[in-house]
Structure 1
Amino acid sequence: MMWVQRSGARYRGGDGAGVETRHAFSFSGHYDPDNVRFGLLVACNEEHLAPGAGFAEHPHRDLEIVTWVVEGELTHEDSTGHRTVIRPGDVQRLSAGGGVRHSERNESAAPLTFVQMWLASGAVGAEPGYEVVRGIADGTQYALARADAVLHVRRLAADERTALPDAPWVYAHVVRGEVRVGDETLTPGDAARLTDTDGTEARAVGAAELLVWEMRAEPVFG
């Protein structure tokens, strides 16, 4: 089964001061009881930051926060002492554990766009963790140690096909280009949620970049 969410159907947010956010799931003042999560994924935010804009220090806990920069440079700073600049092709993972604070800013003179994905952690109350992997290659599978989830990074040439993972929950987000999944054509910011891939393939119409989550669990509450 597949459900497609178009970029234009995302919930719009932002601070009116250089931050525009497009939420794929219920978030902050946007609440839809039928759209609070998918598998372990509880947020997939497309963030647009003008030069000098950003998010002041704020807290997180018991989340795996994975960030993918589309264009520009993201400056991250957190309460465990990390200060890094994330660029296109890098994967950043912040394991919030029992609690961490961080800030995110666009300190460059160019616009910044990034996709940030939050997954429920299977290590509630653990020590925070942090990792940046530079220059992720096509076909990379980035596994989360604290969640039963794997991120697949695919950069496809025109007409190239890739099989979607065989997993109970698969979330495919188009970063750039156009991709055909089943009978649907997905464009940047669109995402497909699949609960039975059954050999489903993604085919690039032209050159495309695709982020695919393979998830084999749901959050356990209480």
Structure 2
Amino acid sequence: MKTILHKAATRGHAGHGWLESWHTFSFAGYHDPARVHFGALRVLNDDTVAPGMGFGKHPHDNMEIVSIPLEGDLEHSDSMGNTAIIRQGDVQAMSAGTGIVHSEKNKNSDQPVRFLQIWVFPNKRNVEPRYDQKTFGADEKNNRLLTVVSPIGSPDGGVQIHQDAWFSLGKMEKGLALEYACKKDGNGVYAFVLEGDVTINDIVLNRRDGLGITEENRISIRANTDSEILLMDVPL
């Protein structure tokens, strides 16, 4: 087993007044040659957008983009004609493919919106852009790992993307132990702690820490406190 630990405080940071963004991997003005990507996982941004503010229309292409709201309401609009509100419990995926233009803003004028913005390299270029969004009940991930992202055509559930990648969310009570098995030989797993403290394969992680694991097919997770965790199982 090989691991790479990214403590929360070592992430890149961008403060724009209306936006506070923490970058696990190189993004925009933050560049660390040792932290460009983890296999197909290219971007993991932990964003807070001020009330009523947001990202104006901007383009993307040939990237799989996953948004996971943690608090508040995020309003989405795109050139495919989709307009939607994504909230805590929702997961959104866009295949940018040949090119899309979209905007994201905080729907509310009285509270911030917090969400994860995640980019994954696709396994097919120049596909037709597509949009996918699903809602998951809080009880679906209580004391288990719930698949919320899976490959196009997979029976595993969740929103689907053009990559052999699976994302799982879990909400664990203190003392609970879970095991995760990699979905595909040769994949690695990047674990990101949303809340609480956990131990993964004997490595202690705290809130917003990240841990990349390679050359290991099974991962043991123990909740040291009530915790929430995101696992991203991606090709290397």
Deviations along 1:23-54, one digit per CA (max 9) or x if unpaired, are 01111122222221111000000001110121
Matches for 1:45-56 after TM superposition, within 5 Å: 45-56=45-56
Aligned-residue identity in percent = 33
Deviations along 1:135-184, one digit per CA (max 9) or x if unpaired, are 25213222032101011111111111121333531001111121111333
Matched, 1:5 2:6: yes
Matched, 1:140 2:159: no
Report what 2:166 is aligned to: 150
Calculate the aligned-residue CA RMSD, in Å: 1.4
Name the amino acid aligned to 2:90. Answer: D
Name the amino acid aligned to 1:69. Answer: P
Report what 2:99 is aligned to: 99
CA distance in 2 between counterparts of 1:196 and 1:163 reads 16
Structure 1 runs (4+) deviating above 4 angstroms are: none
Kept after mapping to 1: 8 A contact 2:72/2:114:
yes
Matched, 1:210 2:216: no
Secondary structure at 2:9's aligned position in 1? helix
- How many residues matched? 216
Kept after mapping to 1: 8 A contact 2:181/2:217:
no
Report what 1:111 is aligned to: 112
CA distance in 2 between counterparts of 1:165 and 1:105 reads 36
Mind listing any 5+ residue stretches in structure 1 that lack a counterpart?
Answer: none
Kept after mapping to 1: 8 A contact 2:196/2:227:
yes
Matched, 1:31 2:38: no
Name the amino acid aligned to 2:98. Answer: G
Report what 2:81 is aligned to: 81
CA distance in 2 between counterparts of 1:101 and 1:130 reads 12
CA distance in 2 between counterparts of 1:100 and 1:14 reads 26
Matched, 1:122 2:137: no
Kept after mapping to 1: 8 A contact 2:188/2:213:
yes
CA distance in 2 between counterparts of 1:19 and 1:172 reads 24
TM-score normalized by the length of structure 2: 0.87
Cα displacement (A) at 1:198: 4.8
Kept after mapping to 2: 8 A contact 1:4/1:193:
yes
CA distance in 2 between counterparts of 1:144 and 1:49 reads 29
Mind listing any 5+ residue stretches in structure 2 that lack a counterpart?
Answer: 153-161
Kept after mapping to 2: 8 A contact 1:97/1:124:
yes
Instruction: Pick the aligned partner of 2:180 from 159, 164, 170.
Output: 164
Name the amino acid aligned to 1:143. Answer: S
